[in-house]
């Protein structure tokens, strides 16, 4: 993150990149909390399906966060 921010040409670009990264971190945290909430409201008889669903949701959220981060960093490096 520091290398990405150091490549920004102005303070405005640095602040913009920092805000974008903080926004993505906040969104991933909210997504994880939402996944736990959604899994907890389903009335399942056994604990294993609930944990499997939670694991799948968390992996999907982390993958989407990774892809979004790569897009943001890619845009910063191509400027």
Residue 74 tokens, joined: 């890619």
| DSSP track, 9-48 | SSHHHHHHHHHHHHHHHHHHHHHHHHHHHHHHHS--SSHH
Size (the chain), residues:
79
Q: What percent of the chain has pLDDT over 90?
A: 0
Residue 47, CA atoms < 13 Å, CB-side half-sphere: 0
pLDDT under 50: residue ranges of the chain: none
Residue 40 tokens, joined: 């907890």
Global pTM reads 0.53
Q: What is the structure's pLDDT at 41? A: 79
């Amino acid at each position: 993150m520091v290398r990405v921010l150091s490549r920004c040409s102005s303070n405005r670009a640095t602040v913009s990149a920092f805000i974008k990264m903080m926004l993505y971190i906040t969104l991933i945290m909210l997504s994880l909390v939402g996944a736990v909430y959604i899994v907890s409201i389903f009335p399942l008889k056994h604990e294993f399906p609930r944990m499997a669903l939670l694991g799948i949701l968390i992996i999907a959220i982390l993958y989407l966060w990774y892809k979004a981060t790569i897009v943001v960093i890619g845009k910063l490096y191509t400027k």
